[in-house]
Amino acid sequence: MEDEFESYDDYNDDVELANRFEDMLNINAHYFFDVEEFENLIEYYLDKSDFVKAKQALYFANEQHPNSSAIKIKQAIYWIENHQPNKGLDILKDIEITEPFNPDIYLNKAHIYSQIRQNQKAIDNFYKAVKLIPDKNEQFNIYFSIALEYETLLQYDKSLQVFKDLLTENPENETILYEISFCYTLMNDYQAGIQFFKDFIANQPFNYVAWLNLGNVYNRAELFEKAIEAFDYALAIKEDFGRAMFTKGNSLVLMEKYDEAIEIYQEAMALEGEDASTLYYIGECYEKKEDYENAEKFYNKAITVEPYYSDAYAGIAVVNEYQNKNHVAAYYIQKAIDLEQNNIEYWYIYGDILCGLKNYEESATAFKKVIELDENNEDIWLDLSETYLNWENIESAIEILDQAKENQPSNLKIDIRKSALLLKIGKEAEANALLSNALEKNAELKTDYIEYFPDSVKYPSILLTLDNTKK
């Protein structure tokens, strides 16, 4: 509470300081401000993104205190905030020559290097700064930043080591535990993650956050029963631990125990209040149960809580599509796309819905948007080709498959589909050659081929190829 009062008083002091500075500007006078006052003044304007006033304050600060490194550092920060980091970097490099033991120089250089994605240089400067700062809290924040930079460099082992060192000195810090769990996930080393949290819990058996993270790692390792057991331990220690309750619900969903998951999600909301994400997940559970009425009900509830929750609009679209209400589905998926215009899944759903409406031209446009966003998607080319086929344009359907093969030369599903289309237009020899080559590489595609074009067995050469293929 005392800190809150100090913060409030500091803010009032800054407002009073700003009023005095602006009075000076208004009457074209020259008041004196000491270095600390100018620092506070510049920071105040930067916090408000008032770059015009910040620039004016810097002008007078440099005029009154031309040799102040503190003002020069503020000048560098001004350029950083103005998205001109290299100008800030030049200033800091100049100060570093005369003040090599000033930690603020290295901290600000680190932030600039991080901003311009020179992460190793950011790490080097963070390490220089931390050697010059005795305060333990500040050291903690710097090491935490170093660990995040290692994550950006995909050097998860180094990031993990920094977090573990921090945890040794701060065993109660919950954020570190979450970050350690995240690192193990990024490394796909679930067994090591499980062992780490088991060892940690052996020393701190009542740390409910550690139990939660153990459960999270079990989930990622697809050991759902063990995950639920860990979440139950967390809840035994802290009965109102809503996050553990919610994540337990996720485990039950992954086990396809949708009724139990719905109950747990409801309990999570009883602890933490209605939440759009939880309402959405309940809707998904009902969707999986094919209870589309309740699914739509909860998707709508999610939108009521958070009107811009795009996944809920997409959910309503999907459940309406399942019920052949394609006009309604199209309306809702368009609303989802309006909120997230580069969401691949939404465009895919939109393309499917338009196919259901037999609006093949717009369906093709939607599928082309998916390709624009993710040309490596293995199924989208096949669906685009199928759209042209439904549009009774088999030549274009084949052309699409040829384009697909250029983008995905190792995708044998493309060859299988093209073989079937060639067969439909009477090119049996060419179709058989393509099929034989594909099945040589992957015999399991035989089933896909027959399912897609059952009449293929009526062609003697094709039937022979299929019969000679052993799965």
pLDDT digits (tens, 9 = 90+) for 146-189: 999 999 999 999 999 999 999 999 988 999 999 999 999 999 99
Rounded distance, CA 320 to CA 297, Å? Answer: 12
Rounded mean pLDDT of 244-270? Answer: 96
Rounded mean pLDDT of 270-277? Answer: 93
| In the predicted structure, residue 208 carries a pLDDT above the cut 50 | yes
Which positions ≥6 away from 92 have C-beta within 8 Å? 73, 76, 105, 108, 109, 112
Rounded mean pLDDT of 50-72? Answer: 85
Which positions ≥6 away from 258 have C-beta within 8 Å? 252, 285, 286, 288, 289
Q: What is the pLDDT at residue 10? A: 53
Rounded distance, CA 465 to CA 471, Å? Answer: 12
- Mean pLDDT is lowest, of 55-59, 125-129, 191-195, 319-323, for 55-59
Which positions ≥6 away from 469 have C-beta within 8 Å? 439, 443, 446
- Predicted confidence band of residue 58 (pLDDT cuts 50, 70, 90): confident
Closest Cα partner for 147 from 133, 134, 135, 130?
A: 130
Closest Cα partner for 316 from 278, 338, 286, 342?
A: 286
**Segment 393-439, tens digit of pLDDT:** 999 999 999 999 999 999 999 999 999 999 999 999 999 999 999 99
| Total H helices, total E strands in the chain | 27, 0
Rounded mean pLDDT of 439-454? Answer: 93
Rounded distance, CA 22 to CA 10, Å? Answer: 18
Rounded distance, CA 191 to CA 197, Å? Answer: 10
- Nearest-10 crossing angle of helices 292-305, 276-288: 170
Rounded mean pLDDT of 264-277? Answer: 94
Task: Kindly state the tokens that stand for 150.
Answer: 């290692």
Rounded mean pLDDT of 311-327? Answer: 97
Rounded distance, CA 375 to CA 398, Å? Answer: 17
